[in-house]
Amino acid sequence: MRERPGVRSFGAVKPVLLPVAVLLPLFAAAQKPARKPARFDAAVVAIIVPSDDPAHAALNPAVQEPRIVLANKGTESLSGISVRYGTVGFAPRMFAWTGRLAPGATTEVKLTHLIDMRPGANTFTVSLGDPNGRKDRNKADNTLSGTFTSADAWGSPLTVRMRVPAGNGGRIRLESTRGPVHIDHAWKSGNDTVLSETLRLPPGSYLLHAVDSGKADAASVRIISAGADLLKAVRSAPKEGTLYQFRVETDAPLDAPSRTDALLLMRPGRGMALVDLFAAKSARLSVKNGRGEVLMEWPVPEQLNKEYPIDLSAQPAGSYAIVLSEDGRETQVGLIDLFDAAPR
């Protein structure tokens, strides 16, 4: 046989014969039918509350109502299942779910009781029983665990300062998980209003809910300790609102590292605004133009709610930054964009 230039010939390739002992298992596997789906197969596919997952940050940290997602992976509708759940290190709890979950469907389930927790990181575990009282063929997806951070724990008394802005209606409600309502303030779009209440809350778990119409600036809620430290700042939100959950404990410190919170509110008129500020430390508040030049500046006392009116009506069109300087660090509170007045 003549070879083509540049091509080497190795002759005929000899077939390789596999032993029968190797071929038989391969043939049997190829002929074996696919496993039929189980009639009864339930799974827990997610822990929403409590959770450190950023996807569920709006609902956490939490004090009550663990939330999980169940899935029906069987071919029969799921009508009932027992759920064993709890925080590692505490006694587990039981919940009996009943309903109707079609094959291939999922559902969110709210479990009862408060969430047990220790300060810092915790682990929450959920285990399912037998679906519809029948044996679950796949037990591998019946248990799920996840980590979560404990909710804030504060001492008492606490001062709750609320600022409800003009042009935006809403509601602020603070209640105990045991039932008593301590604040229930609803407002309509009207004048800007500041309210403050000092509460001696008994030990327990609490829910602060702030919702607005979404038509103007958000309402602001500041929780301040007996030592004048800002413990938490909450902003209202439209639709479902903002939910902040916390605990009050007898052995919680009355003072905690204070926070800084700044709220920029626009006012009627060109370039008119107001900064509502609580600074953890002495600071300076300034207004700068696009070239970084300081147009206005105020000294800011520590641990005190204070208002700073801003009037840029005489300034040319452009962007103006509201900047807070604290411990040598600059933080932009917000931007005010000015436009040329429309010609008459």
Q: How far is CA 81 from CA 71, 133, 231, 321, in A?
A: 11, 7, 41, 57
Say yes or no: 133 and 63 in one domain: yes
Q: How many CB atoms lie within 10 A of CB 256?
A: 17
Residues whose CB is less than 8 angstroms from the CB of residue 293 and which lie 6 or more positions away in sequence, other chains included:
none
Distance CA 284, CA 301 (A): 9
Q: What CATH number did the domain enclosing 279 receive? A: 2.60.40.3080
H or E stretch at 181 = strand 181-187
Instruction: State how far the Cα of 219 lies from the Cα of 172, in Å rounded to an integer.
Output: 9
Q: How many domains does the chain have?
A: 3
Sheet holding 220-225, edge to edge: 193-199, 158-164, 220-225, 230-235
Domain membership flag for residue 171? yes
3-state helix, strand, coil in the chain (%, to 5): 5, 50, 45
Q: Following DSSP, what letter does each residue of 273-319 receive, concatenated?
A: EEEEEE-SS-EEEEEE-TT--EEEEEEE-SS-EEEEEEE-TTSPSEE
Cα–Cα distance measured from residue 152 to residue 252, given in angstroms and rounded to the nearest whole number: 10
Residues 6+ positions from 184 with CB-CB distance below 8 Å: 171, 172, 173, 174, 175
Which residues are within 8 A (CB) of 5 and not within 5 positions of it... i.e. 6 or more apart? none
Residue-number span of the structural domain to which 276 is assigned: 261-338
Assign residue 243 the CATH number of its domain.
2.60.40
Distance between CA 344 and CA 341 in Å, rounded?
A: 9
In a domain, 48, yes or no: yes
1: in domain: no
Same domain flag for 146 and 158: no
Alpha-carbon dihedral sign for residues 174, 244, 217, 168: negative
Length of the chain: 344
152-154/242-248 β-pairing = parallel
Do 200 and 122 belong together in one domain? Answer: no
Same domain, 283 and 205: no
**Is-above-0.75 flag for pTM?**
yes
Select from 248, 281, 297 the last residue of a domain. 248
Residue 307 belongs to a domain: yes
Backbone angles phi, psi at 21, to 5 degrees: -65, -25
Q: 311 lies in a domain?
A: yes
Q: Which of these three, 248, 274, 304, is where a domain ends? A: 248
Query: Same structural domain for residues 295 and 223?
Result: no
My answer on whether 78 and 96 are in the same domain is yes
Do 125 and 181 share a domain, yes or no? no
- Alpha helices, H only, the chain: 20-31
The answer to whether position 29 is within a domain reads no
Q: State the pLDDT at residue 26.
A: 61
Evaluate the CA torsion angle 103, 107, 111, 115 in order and state its sign: positive
Two tokens at 172?
A: 């602020």
Q: What tokens appear for 195 in the block?
A: 């309210």
137 and 161 both lie in a single domain: no
Structure tokens at 240: 């479902």
25 found inside a domain: no
**Are residues 161 and 194 in contact, defined by beta-carbon separation less than 8 angstroms?**
yes
Task: Judge if 145 and 221 occupy the same domain.
Answer: no
The reply to whether 158 and 239 lie within a common domain is yes
82 and 178 inside one domain: no
DSSP state of 218: P
Which CATH number belongs to the domain containing residue 131 in this structure? 2.60.40.10
Instruction: Using the 3D structure, point to which of 132, 150, 168 is the last residue of a domain.
Output: 150
* Same domain flag for 146 and 164: no
What is the pLDDT, as a whole number, of residue 264? Answer: 93
User: 21 lies in a domain?
Assistant: no
Per residue of the chain (344 residues), give pLDDT as tens. 454 555 444 455 455 565 666 556 666 655 555 567 788 999 999 999 999 999 999 899 999 999 999 999 999 999 999 999 999 999 999 999 999 999 999 999 999 889 999 999 999 999 999 999 999 888 999 999 999 999 999 999 999 999 988 888 899 999 999 989 999 999 887 778 899 999 999 999 999 999 999 988 889 999 999 888 999 999 999 988 999 999 999 888 766 778 999 999 988 899 999 999 999 899 999 999 999 999 999 999 988 899 999 999 999 999 999 999 998 899 999 999 998 865 45
The reported pLDDT for the residue numbered 7 is 44
Report the 3 state secondary structure along 29-81.
HHHCCCCCCCCCCEEEEEEEECCCCHHHHHHCCCCECCEEEEEECCCCCEEEE
